Every structure is written in C-alpha cells, then in structure tokens.
C-alpha cells in the first residue's frame, strides 16, 4: 500500500528521521528511555491509531488533573509522545505523493476523532503509516538513549 522504493521514499524517510531527531535532541521530557516509547509500535499494531491516541490523551489528562508526584512528568511525557506521533505522522503524510495515500493529505488533531467514519481506506492507510512512524520513534529514541549512555561512560559530550 505504501511505496517503499525509489528516491521519494528515501526523502520521505530522511524528513521523518530529521523531525524525530530534532524532538529528541536534548530531550528532558523523558521520551528517551520511556517504556511507552519502547512499546509504541506494538501498541499501534495491536490497538490501532485511534485507540493509542485516545489512551495517550487520557493518560496525559489524568496525570495533569491528579498532578501525581510519584510519576513526575508522566502526563507531560504522554502528551509529548502524542504530539511527536501526530507531528511525525503529518510529516510522513506530507512527504507521500497524493496518488499513493488515497486522498489523505492533512491530519489535524481534531480529525483523529472522526477518522475512518467516511473512509475505512483512509484509516487503514493512516494506521499503516502510524506503525512505520512509531517504529522510527522507537528506534531513534533507543539510539539516543544509547548515545547518552555512551557519553556518560566516556565522561563527556564527545
């Protein structure tokens, strides 16, 4: 369904990686090394994009409402993960030729609530794209965690 060949895919992948890396650079939100980030691809595969978005929204809202000190910043982390997922998915959509994505070209957060009502094909496309985006987020966060650990072992930023 989603093209994975040619220069268009390489450019699309490069844009996506660059966006995610920028968000993880100097990450003080806790996304790097976060359990939800590590499990994100499997969450999207098992439950679908809509369920994952609803879950992250509810966890972020619960933490903000309760202000649970035991899980410092967990709500912020959930919200930042949701923002990163949506921004990366939008970046991915913008990089794909319109003919390949069944008319999907813009993804506003409000659109997620009604996704799939009019076009199941659109939802399937976005869900597949979300799985790929989640894999990139997971891989880049893991690489960033490894880099941070190596820097600590070496005793510096080099």
Number of separate domains in the chain: 1
User: Beta strands of 1-150 (E only): which ranges?
Assistant: none
Task: Return d(Cα 57, Cα 83) in angstroms, integer.
Answer: 10
Query: Where residue 1 falls among pLDDT bands split at 50, 70, 90?
Result: very low
- Within-domain flag for 63: yes
Longest dimension (CA), the chain: 55
Give pLDDT, residue 130: 92
CATH number of the domain encompassing residue 38? 1.10.520
Give pLDDT, residue 131: 95
- Within-domain flag for 88: yes
* Domain of 15, in residue numbers: 6-154
- Within-domain flag for 1: no
- Within-domain flag for 12: yes
- Within-domain flag for 32: yes
Query: What pTM, to 2 d.p., does this model score?
Result: 0.76
């Amino acid at each position: 369904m989603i093209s994975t060949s040619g220069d268009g895919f390489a450019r699309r992948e490069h844009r996506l990686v660059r966006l995610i890396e920028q968000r993880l650079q100097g990450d003080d939100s806790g996304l790097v090394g976060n359990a939800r980030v590590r499990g994100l691809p499997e969450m999207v595969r098992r439950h679908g994009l809509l369920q994952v978005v609803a879950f992250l929204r509810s966890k972020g809202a619960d933490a903000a409402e309760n202000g649970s000190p035991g899980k410092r910043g967990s709500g912020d982390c959930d919200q930042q993960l949701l923002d990163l997922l949506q921004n990366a998915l939008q970046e991915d959509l913008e990089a794909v030729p319109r003919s390949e994505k069944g008319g999907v070209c813009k993804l506003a957060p409000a659109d997620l609530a009604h996704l799939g009502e009019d076009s199941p094909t659109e939802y399937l496309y976005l869900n597949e794209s979300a799985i790929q985006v989640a894999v990139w987020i997971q891989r880049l966060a893991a690489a960033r965690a490894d880099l941070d650990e190596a820097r600590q072992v070496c005793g510096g930023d080099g």
